[in-house]
């Protein structure tokens, strides 16, 4: 397997089981976020390359879907072992293009690997059912079959974990996958493609199509592509859902979030402060499950803010690759454009009357002055009418809002347009149980700040955080990537047929008498 180096090259596609250079003439820069330098260019597919990717995937599907379950399972186990052996290499590749700390990149891989491990047990999850003698001499049974060619459109913040939420399940079920990764960190997708090939996956079953909106629309409008799985912002998720649905496709489109942490007065504030920092600033806040709002039920806000501020002061920010074997706590943001957008939300909050307790604007790292860094930021008394509260910031900005009661905090969470993740911190089991019942959010943590479900459950929110037919991975993932046939079967017994016990003319609707 090759070792990836993106320096001074154009990152192309993976089509028909091989690297394919682009002839479109269109590219986009790939940065090293820690230095701000362009380290490569990524191809942006034209229509001919989109068509070639889809055709190769369609051919791969016809081959792969004919493989026995036993042979497909062998490939899944081989992929799992290869990924486990080489995950360190992959983590470094993620950091080089995304900027996140290597240990955080490793955590991303391990969470994706959980889904790979679930997928190795796929035979049990794609079984049909059988009812013998449902009517006299008639058996009814069901079988599950793959959809065909399926599209996966993944975001920049998890270039490995999100593709692994979908691709292993889709492939195990017999489908062929076309992955359209983010243009900002495209190399991990090619690394995965090489690994799939080494594991024994036939050519065309895993395709990487680099590109922008043209590539996305090519997948959305193709009659060959049967489903779309997407993770990204809510406006794009809604566009994906509406466009793909109009074209008759299954869709799971996971959108944005504004996740709240409700802190009751009886909570352990040291635990709360630790977890607010972890969940607010981990991965530089560039994750849809980040906690971005702390709802502090008075009188705990002042003490909690002091504890969070104390912890922020101890954080180290720098190149995610580390130096002399020592990693920082937090790396840079993905681009300078995104860094400036995050900064603008702090400007908005301040203009709307919020107090900037810790200011991350203008943050620089010595020796990396051109990197896309933004320091951890803590805001107090953010008005709930401010765009800094209502919109997803997707950066290391933690807002504190003071509320007078559990009911006031719950009402704020439930009134938001998003419903992705939320958490409550309390030592009161009754309050926690009431919260999990009353809150209108898809994923809930009780004294857990980032409640990402394990692989055998499913990931997805409510409201404008999820559009489509199914959540990601778990049993819902296998249901999404298969379709069921119900078969009613009768085999005539020649002996009873000769006696006239079967057959005859009856134009009425079939009945079970």
Catalytic residue numbers, as ranges: 288
Tokens linked to 327: 């990693």
What residues pair up with 37 in beta bridges, in sequence order? 32
What residues pair up with 484 in beta bridges, in sequence order? 144
Per DSSP, 182 falls in state: -
Q: Which of 214, 251, 136 is nearest to 501 (CA)?
A: 136
Tokens linked to 372: 């896309």
Torsion, CA 332, CA 334, CA 336, CA 341, rounded to 10: -100
How far, in Å, CA of 388 to CA of 173, rounded? 42
CA distances from 145 to 58, 74, 170, 177 (A): 15, 19, 11, 15
3-state secondary structure of 422: strand
Name the phi and psi angles at 362, rounded to 5: 75, 15
Torsion, CA 16, CA 21, CA 23, CA 28, rounded to 10: 120
How far, in Å, CA of 465 to CA of 259, rounded? 11
Tokens linked to 487: 């078969």
Alpha helices by DSSP H, listed for 398-442, are 406-415, 429-438
Per DSSP, 471 falls in state: -
**Helix, strand, coil percentages, rounded to 5, for the chain:** 40, 25, 40
Alpha helices by DSSP H, listed for 160-316, are 161-172, 187-199, 213-221, 234-246, 269-281, 301-312
- β-pairing, 291-297 with 397-403? parallel
């Amino acid at each position: 397997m090759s070792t990836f180096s993106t320096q001074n090259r154009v990152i192309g596609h993976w089509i028909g089981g091989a690297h394919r250079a682009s002839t479109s003439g269109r590219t986009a820069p790939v940065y090293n976020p820690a230095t701000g330098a362009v380290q490569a260019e990524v191809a942006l597919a034209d229509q001919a390359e989109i068509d070639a990717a889809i055709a190769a995937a369609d051919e791969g599907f016809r081959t792969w879907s004919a493989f026995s379950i036993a042979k497909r399972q062998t490939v899944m186990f081989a992929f799992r072992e290869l990924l486990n052996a080489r995950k360190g290499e992959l983590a470094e590749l993620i950091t080089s293009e995304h900027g996140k700390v290597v240990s955080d990149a490793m955590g991303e891989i391990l969470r994706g690997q959980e889904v790979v491990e679930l997928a190795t047990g796929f035979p049990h999850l794609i079984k049909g059912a059988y009812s013998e003698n449902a009517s006299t001499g008639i058996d009814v049974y069901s079988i599950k079959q793959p959809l065909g060619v399926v599209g996966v459109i993944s975001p920049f913040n998890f270039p490995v974990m999100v593709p692994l939420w979908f691709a292993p399940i889709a492939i195990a079920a017999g489908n062929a996958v076309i992955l359209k990764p983010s243009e900002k960190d495209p190399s991990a997708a090619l690394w995965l493609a090489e690994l799939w090939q080494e594991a024994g996956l036939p050519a065309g079953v895993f395709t990487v199509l680099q590109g922008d909106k043209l590539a996305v629309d090519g997948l959305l409008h193709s009659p060959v592509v049967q489903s779309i799985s997407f993770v990204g912002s809510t406006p794009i998720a809604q566009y994906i859902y509406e466009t793909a649905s109009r074209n008759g496709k299954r869709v799971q489109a996971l959108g944005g979030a504004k996740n709240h942490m409700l802190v009751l007065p009886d909570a352990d504030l040291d635990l709360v402060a630790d977890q607010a920092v972890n969940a607010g600033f981990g991965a530089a806040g560039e994750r849809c499950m980040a906690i971005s709002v702390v709802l502090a039920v008075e009188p705990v806000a002042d003490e909690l803010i002091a504890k969070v501020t104390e912890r922020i002061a101890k954080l180290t920010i720098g190149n995610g690759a580390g130096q002399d074997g020592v990693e920082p706590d937090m790396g840079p943001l993905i681009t300078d454009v995104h860094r400036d957008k995050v900064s603008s939300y702090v400007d908005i909050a301040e203009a709307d009357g919020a107090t900037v307790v810790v200011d991350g604007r203008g943050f620089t790292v010595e020796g990396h002055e051109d990197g896309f860094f933004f320091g951890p930021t803590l805001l107090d008394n953010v008005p709930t009418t401010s765009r800094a509260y209502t919109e997803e910031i997707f950066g290391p900005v933690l807002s504190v809002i003071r509320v007078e009661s559990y009911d006031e905090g719950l009402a704020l969470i439930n009134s938001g347009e998003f419903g992705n993740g939320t958490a409550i911190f309390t030592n009161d089991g009754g309050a926690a149980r009431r919260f999990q019942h009353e809150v209108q959010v898809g994923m809930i943590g009780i004294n857990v700040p980032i409640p990402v479900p394990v692989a055998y459950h499913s990931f997805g929110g409510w409201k404008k955080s999820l559009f489509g037919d199914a959540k990601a991975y778990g049993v819902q993932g296998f249901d999404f990537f298969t379709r069921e046939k119900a078969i009613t079967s009768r085999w005539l017994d020649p002996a009873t047929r000769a006696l006239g016990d079967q057959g005859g003319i009856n134009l009425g609707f079939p009945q079970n008498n």
